[in-house]
Structure 1
Amino acid sequence: MNDFKVDNSLARLGKPFSEASMPTVVPAPQWIAFNSSLAQQLQLPEQYWQTDAGLNLFSGNNLPEWATPAAHAYAGHQFGHFVPQLGDGRALLLAEVIDRDGKRVDMQLKGAGTTPFSRRGDGRSPLGPVLREYLISEAMHALGIPSTRALAAVITGDWVQRDTAEPGAILTRIASSHIRVGSFQYIAHRGANHQAQNGEQTELKTFADYVIKRHYPECLSQANPYLAFLTAVIDNQAKLIANWMSIGFIHGVMNTDNMTISGETIDYGPCAFMDSFNPAQVYSYIDSQGRYAWGNQPKIASWNLARFAETLLPLIAEQREQAIELASAAVQSFGQRNEAYFLQLMAKKIGLQQVTADDEGLIAGFLQLLHSNTVDFSQGFRLLSQSVTDSNSGTITLMTDKAAWQHWASAWQQRLAVQGLDLSQVQANMDATNPAIIPRNHIIAKVIQQATTDGDLRLFNQLKQALATPFELKPDDAFLAAPPSDKEQIKNTFCGT
């Protein structure tokens, strides 16, 4: 325990930022998975590594003295509609761990029973969503995209009633923090009511100062720390959304309570990776209007950040008009930032080291080819490295319009030649950028089906191992990387709450 360092700074803030709550005891916990490499990073004592003590910890049945369980309070715009109180209805922050690099991270149980914010919910999680989040969050990490992580997953030994009765499970999630745009909306909404009575914004300033010190301490030295804070969050989110877009990831439920202040991906509910490329692609069953489609994600992120900016107005400037002007300029910078990050990432995917003004058309042209030829997004990019030296191999095999492909490929190969790089190195760079394997919808569905009906975790374990090295593919894992057949295609994904 000497190297294992914990703190509980958010819990110490107390109400209204969080409320103490204990997990509900479960009858017969059993291991699903344990992330030993992450445990090493956290310097978690080995007494919790796939042991009975670990089962007690990660099921919430018997918490050690260093845990101070608390549910975090937040509000949120859900599909554009403001809900003034949401909060952790099925999750509990156990502690903040200081990892071996000195970084502070949250350790949270997800699916641990009712909390003060559960409303009419049971606070539980079915097995399927736990398996989904474990696999996809760890895949995102392996792809180099900021994300919450999965430390452990356990079956609870009881049943969770959704459309049908499903095995219950608990995920132990690690994050830089679980503070969201909705966290600030909750405090600001309370503050607006309180200010009307007392003319103060004490809670908002306390919370903002805490978050800045924790996540963006460099802002403290700025002339306007709160404006600098807003700008830093905007920039991190611009990078994050660009990363999502570059791998065909669709979050599916980009409500303000699902957007972190740290710039990490959080809450893998109805998320999915695109198969055939379509900018209007939606998988989430509840997103009937396509609000959170792949191509809409930058616009929605900007909208969410405008809601975040609104919460900080009283801190940015004393005069509201001046605060609005400053905050608006910051939010308006999101589009340019996001587009620049996206173009850099996409240029890399087609083998370009530096992006120029003319490259935007080249990138758009390739995406249009993928769309018009109904080409799988990930496979289309992965095979492109084979086309570097021969336009008659690689991605052309996926195209129906060969003439359009050849027209684009000719311009692309000319652009590659201008770089003056060895083409074998270009190919190697592309293969280290475009993943061979992603957590495909139809494979995830098979994992969940086998685990929930037969208790069979073999496919889960095989996929978990393969996703840890997404730019490499072993022959035995080839079926995991293949796009779905017509019969295997998944049209809808579900939240699982």
Structure 2
Amino acid sequence: MNIEQIKQPFTDIFPGDFSDNPMQRNTPKVLFATVKPAGFNAPKLIAFNPDLAEEIGLGPYEEKDLDFLVGNHLPENVKTYATAYAGHQFGNWAGQLGDGRAILAGEIINKDGKKTEIQWKGSGATPYSRHADGRAVLRSSVREYLMSEAMYHLGVPTTRALSLAFTGEDVVRDMMYNGNPQLEKGAVVIRTAESFLRFGHFELISAQQEYKTLQDLADFTIKNYYPEITADGIDKYKQFFENICTRTANLMTEWFRVGFVHGVMNTDNMSVLGLTIDYGPYSMMDEYDLNFTPNTTDLPGRRYAFGKQGQISQWNLWQLANAFHPLIKDEKFLEDTLNQYGTYFWEAHDKMLCRKFGFDELRESDEEFFTNWQGLMQELQLDYTLFFNQLEKLNPESDIKSLFENVPYVILTDQRVKKLEDFAKKYQDRISSNTISEEKSLSLMQHSNPKFTLRNYLLYECIEEINSGKTEMLKKLTRALENPYEELYPEFSAKRPSAYDDTTGCSTLSCSS
């Protein structure tokens, strides 16, 4: 890999703390602190993403590159750093936060001029580690490496993963925060994004009343990541906020399309570019449940449950609006924009459902259809992915019980079969009124409904195998997630086995996950 191309334009523009001190502390009036990765004596590569390396301009992997992938070797021109940000966590203002176990190497520009930031996760403590060690364990690193790539291939805006490696050291973690700490294998992921800028970066500066730096950061973000914005003055910042709202709504719609539950939608985990960022206690949907949260820390309130992700994203945007107010100074504009957000999101959401069902367009009567469908999904505990896969096979001659027998997580009694039959009739009546061909309808469904999603139980099994020194399942999952709209491995297209219903690290996850 050609790591000498990595540059650091961000640090040339904004104030920072150049003490190279990883000790936890407040860093008021600065946006970053220089800090070096911890370094590891016996690293071992687990996985590398050659397609991404080529795409971003790093080129093919060589054995000597392992030292860079874990932060042991740095290009001469690079001074690594962690950024400071703030945020609202579970609805409460948390003050200064920051990159607690992430360290930025900088930015690389490929031959087409595309910029990509490169960041280690799990490479040691930073000033923002808040009494933690800045390390990462294998299970959380595997989950981030695989899921970020899975989301990319599903067509969902996301950060991506370049590499996954053992650090060669053990890390102490209390997985469920219940007083049972254990040694786990340490790992480092290199993740990439166009930018890792978050709502929380703007929240921190605004809360500190550093309004000139706030304006500089907004200008920097617009210039580098929002070229479509051409207005000047306050109108520029208004368009910036509107565009963030649109990107966020589109992202939430994509999460609903594939059945993704983030699990910890704090404002510091929200990207101003509309990317899925920070893969912690997430889950893909097994049985459909609007009230499902994979995060034990989110119980019992279920603030970040699947069905609440739209409204929570709007709440988070309200906090960003407060941070932007010193630039925009127009309360009515901000209020109107946020009120319109709900309208835009639900229209985008329902149009997305139309594509999943193969409908030609969104009609007024479809709202009742979707409401009834959601009720059926929850009552029969139907598997979200498998339901739509089977629906694509539905025809007037279908035996409904046989078609859907492997979809519910409850026993299909005669009464439940009758409810499925009633739904199927209403669905076929709606499909028959389409103004598009059956082929076009089916194509809409096939491009909207993945055949493969990276379920938690598959991740759990993969992590267990890697812990035992095997990588065959990792390779199979990688091939499957790179082709999610094909059924490469039928054994992966199945309901969660009941043996995993109450398995820690599979059905139940914490922020440590």
Matching residue of 1:494: 510
Using the TM superposition, name which of 427-436 and 79-88 deviates more.
Answer: 427-436
Matching residue of 1:212: 222
1:80 Cα deviation from its structure 2 partner: 1.2
Q: What amino acid does structure 2 have at the position aligned with 1:118?
A: S
Q: What amino acid does structure 2 have at the position aligned with 1:14?
A: P
Separation in 2, partners of 1:282, 1:55: 37
Q: Secondary structure at the match of 1:120?
A: coil
Q: What amino acid does structure 2 have at the position aligned with 1:52?
A: E
Separation in 2, partners of 1:207, 1:143: 31
Alignment partner of 2:327 out of 315, 329, 353? 315
Check conservation: 1:10, 1:18, Cα contact below 8 A.
no
Check conservation: 1:11, 1:68, Cα contact below 8 A.
no
- Kindly indicate whether residue 204 of structure 2 is the aligned counterpart of residue 190 of structure 1: no
**Structure 2 vs 1, CA of residues 311 and 395 (structure 1 numbering), >3 Å: closer, same or farther?**
farther
Matching residue of 1:302: 314
- Kindly indicate whether residue 41 of structure 2 is the aligned counterpart of residue 30 of structure 1: no
Q: Secondary structure at the match of 1:224?
A: helix
Check conservation: 1:380, 1:395, Cα contact below 8 A.
no
- Kindly indicate whether residue 191 of structure 2 is the aligned counterpart of residue 203 of structure 1: no
Matching residue of 2:90: 79
Check conservation: 1:96, 1:106, Cα contact below 8 A.
yes
Separation in 2, partners of 1:82, 1:455: 42
> Once superposed, what is the RMSD of the aligned Cα atoms?
1.9
Alignment partner of 1:236 out of 241, 247, 253? 247
Counterparts of residues 330-479 of structure 1 (less than 5 Å): 330-393=337-400, 396-397=404-405, 398=407, 400=412, 401-452=416-467, 454-474=468-488, 477-479=489-491
Check conservation: 2:4, 2:75, Cα contact below 8 A.
no
Q: Secondary structure at the match of 1:286?
A: helix
Separation in 1, partners of 2:395, 2:203: 49
Using the TM superposition, name which of 171-180 and 454-463 deviates more.
Answer: 454-463
Q: What amino acid does structure 1 have at the position aligned with 2:461?
A: K
Separation in 2, partners of 1:350, 1:421: 13
Check conservation: 1:181, 1:261, Cα contact below 8 A.
yes
User: Unaligned stretches of 5+ in structure 1?
Assistant: 195-200, 318-322
1:420 Cα deviation from its structure 2 partner: 4.1
- Kindly indicate whether residue 272 of structure 2 is the aligned counterpart of residue 261 of structure 1: yes
Q: Secondary structure at the match of 2:293?
A: coil
Q: Secondary structure at the match of 1:445?
A: helix
1:275 Cα deviation from its structure 2 partner: 0.9
1:388 Cα deviation from its structure 2 partner: 4.2
**Structure 2 vs 1, CA of residues 441 and 9 (structure 1 numbering), >3 Å: closer, same or farther?**
same
Q: Secondary structure at the match of 1:276?
A: coil
Separation in 1, partners of 2:265, 2:392: 33
Separation in 1, partners of 2:100, 2:190: 15
User: Unaligned stretches of 5+ in structure 2?
Assistant: 17-29, 174-180
Counterparts of residues 78-97 of structure 1 (less than 5 Å): 78-97=89-108
- Kindly indicate whether residue 166 of structure 2 is the aligned counterpart of residue 159 of structure 1: no
Matching residue of 1:149: 160
**Structure 2 vs 1, CA of residues 331 and 353 (structure 1 numbering), >3 Å: closer, same or farther?**
same
1:99 Cα deviation from its structure 2 partner: 3.0
Matching residue of 2:11: 11
1:376 Cα deviation from its structure 2 partner: 0.7
Q: Secondary structure at the match of 1:225?
A: helix
1:389 Cα deviation from its structure 2 partner: 4.8
Check conservation: 2:263, 2:280, Cα contact below 8 A.
yes
Q: Secondary structure at the match of 2:298?
A: coil
**Structure 2 vs 1, CA of residues 85 and 390 (structure 1 numbering), >3 Å: closer, same or farther?**
farther
Q: What amino acid does structure 2 have at the position aligned with 1:216?
A: Y
1:424 Cα deviation from its structure 2 partner: 4.1
Separation in 1, partners of 2:4, 2:375: 51
Q: What amino acid does structure 2 have at the position aligned with 1:343?
A: D
Q: Secondary structure at the match of 2:186?
A: strand
1:305 Cα deviation from its structure 2 partner: 0.4
**Structure 2 vs 1, CA of residues 135 and 94 (structure 1 numbering), >3 Å: closer, same or farther?**
same
Matching residue of 1:291: 303
Check conservation: 1:4, 1:44, Cα contact below 8 A.
no
Q: Secondary structure at the match of 2:139?
A: helix
Per-residue deviation, residues 111-158 of structure 1 (Å, max 9, x unmatched): 110112122111100011110011111110010000000011111111
- Kindly indicate whether residue 36 of structure 2 is the aligned counterpart of residue 40 of structure 1: no
1:263 Cα deviation from its structure 2 partner: 0.2
Matching residue of 1:172: 190
Check conservation: 1:344, 1:354, Cα contact below 8 A.
yes
TM-score normalised over the length of structure 2: 0.89
Matched positions, count: 478
Check conservation: 2:360, 2:436, Cα contact below 8 A.
no
1:429 Cα deviation from its structure 2 partner: 3.3
1:491 Cα deviation from its structure 2 partner: 3.0
Per-residue deviation, residues 271-312 of structure 1 (Å, max 9, x unmatched): 001111111011111111201000111111111000000001
Deviant stretches of 4+, over 6 Å? 1-4
Separation in 2, partners of 1:241, 1:425: 25
Check conservation: 1:8, 1:96, Cα contact below 8 A.
yes
1:217 Cα deviation from its structure 2 partner: 2.9
1:421 Cα deviation from its structure 2 partner: 3.5
**Structure 2 vs 1, CA of residues 5 and 346 (structure 1 numbering), >3 Å: closer, same or farther?**
farther
Separation in 2, partners of 1:150, 1:409: 41
Alignment partner of 1:482 out of 494, 503, 511? 494
TM-score normalised over the length of structure 1: 0.92
Separation in 2, partners of 1:235, 1:339: 12
Q: Secondary structure at the match of 1:116?
A: coil
Q: Secondary structure at the match of 1:386?
A: coil
Separation in 2, partners of 1:263, 1:38: 20
1:425 Cα deviation from its structure 2 partner: 4.2
Matching residue of 1:120: 131
Separation in 1, partners of 2:228, 2:250: 19
Separation in 2, partners of 1:455, 1:273: 26
Check conservation: 1:391, 1:409, Cα contact below 8 A.
no
Check conservation: 1:249, 1:272, Cα contact below 8 A.
yes
